[in-house]
Amino acid sequence: MAKLLETDDKSIEDAADILRAGGLVAFPTETVYGLGADATNSAALARLYEAKGRPDFNPLIVHAPTIEALRDEVILTPSAERLAHAFWPGPLTLVLQRSESCRFSPLVSAGLPTAAVRAPAGSVAARLLRAAGRPIAAPSANRSGRLSPTTAQHVLGDLGETIDAVIDGGPCALGLESSIVDVSTDRPTLLRPGGVPPEELEAVLGAPLARPEPEGESGSAPRSAPGLLQSHYAPRAAVRLNAKSSVNGEALLGFGPVPGASLNLSPSGDPAEAAANLFSMLHELDALGVSDIAVSPIPEQGLGIAINDRLRRAAAPRPA
């Protein structure tokens, strides 16, 4: 069973020791809980893929405390420098070419010439990364295809038997994963909408973001994030979107002042509040044993873009 750690200095040191020894430690970031492993240790990464039940073509995000810690690992393009300057530490992941001197295990990139990197804003994450003193790969700390965890209890429920420790830093402030932008070329591409709204990324870049080409059309390496399988972020219950009201005993997950909601992402219609509640309320409905969830419409702008992306994947047909 995973050891549950607090956030005092001694516990952070213990967690860093476990990571340096090749262990798996889940920790809070401002977005969701990540499952950390030493990004330079292939054996540790193999264990990480196994714990998540993740297909090995799906690469990992490497976390570091600052951009300086990444200069020798990836080739920082001018767009990358601008976005990192504007949004790091924060909920933004940059996909870049691995440098000649890159110390990340090839398993991090799952065969691609690129690596995804980010400097998270959560203070527990920053302290852990400094204490570890090396780059840490961390996918969301859930079994592959399941809901992302926003509390230590979510992590324990999903992975408690298979990982070494969880740092309990309370609920994540943002509750939704980072935005992923491929800035490895001169055509910045939004691979996953997330915590930084696309409008804000485009304002800093001074140009519109490209969107990924549909699978299979580009011939070269996949331009969409390989992990973005259609069905993802799925609760156990079936999900129906843009519902005005619930029918046939569905639980209604509301947004805005809707009557009869079982739970409401944000009664006042605030997208930031809805983002913070999204995964935890889906977890809660699962825990209640609800079999069908109807979700109120959410405006497709700002953080609403990332919320709707996750909801569409939760509602997508599931693999048999």
User: Binders of Mg ion among 260-299, rule CB under 5 A?
Assistant: none
Q: Which is nearer to ligand TXA, 104 or 255 (CB)?
A: 104
User: Binders of ligand TXA among 176-205, rule CB under 6 A?
Assistant: 177-178, 180, 191
Q: Which is nearer to ligand TXA, 172 or 261 (CB)?
A: 172
Give a three-class secondary structure readout of the chain. Answer: CCEEECCCHHHHHHHHHHHHCCCCEEEECCCCEEEEEECCCHHHHHHHHHHHCCCCCCCCEEECCCCHHHCCCECCCHHHHHHHHHHCCCCEEEEEEECCCCCCCHHHHCCCCEEEEECCCCHHHHHHHHHHCCCEECCECCCCCECCCCCHHHHHHHHCCCCCEEECCCCCCCCCCCEEEECCCCCCEEEECCCCCHHHHHHHHCCCCECCCCCCCCCCCCCCCCCCCCCCCECCCEEECCCCCCCCCCEEEECCCCCCCCEECCCCCCHHHHHHHHHHHHHHHHHCCCCEEEECCCCCCCHHHHHHHHHHHHHCCCCC
Q: Which is nearer to ligand TXA, 106 or 160 (CB)?
A: 106
User: Binders of ligand TXA among 80-99, rule CB under 6 A?
Assistant: 91, 93, 95
61 lies in the binding site for ligand TXA (CB under 6 A): yes
Residue count at the site for ligand TXA (CB under 6 A)?
A: 28
Which of 18, 25, 32, 76 touches ligand TXA (CB under 6 A)? 32
- Tokens 């039940």 locate to 53
Which of 109, 140, 264, 308 touches Mg ion (CB under 5 A)? 140
Q: Look at phi and psi of residue 28 and say left if phi exceeds 0, alpha if psi is from -120 to 50, else beta.
A: beta
Q: How many CB atoms lie within 10 A of CB 106?
A: 14
Edge to edge, the sheet with strand 263-264 lists 238-240, 292-295, 251-254, 263-264
Q: Which is nearer to Mg ion, 145 or 302 (CB)?
A: 145
58 lies in the binding site for ligand TXA (CB under 6 A): yes
Which of 25, 173, 225, 239 touches ligand TXA (CB under 6 A)? 225
Contact partner at residue 138 from ligand TXA, Mg ion, none, CB < 5 to 8 Å by partner kind = ligand TXA
Q: Which is nearer to Mg ion, 194 or 254 (CB)?
A: 194
Shortest CB 172 distance to ligand TXA, Å:
9
Contact partner at residue 197 from Mg ion, ligand TXA, none, CB < 5 to 8 Å by partner kind = none
Shortest CB 254 distance to ligand TXA, Å:
25
105 lies in the binding site for ligand TXA (CB under 6 A): no
In the bound complex, which residue of the shown chain has the CB atom lying closest to Mg ion?
Answer: 140
Stretch that binds Mg ion, among 110-118, 135-143, 218-226, 306-314 (CB under 5 A): 135-143
Q: Which stretches of the chain bind ligand TXA, using CB under 6 A?
A: 29, 31-32, 34, 58-61, 91, 93, 95, 109, 112, 114-116, 120, 138-140, 177-178, 180, 191, 225-228
Q: Which stretches of the chain bind Mg ion, using CB under 5 A?
A: 140
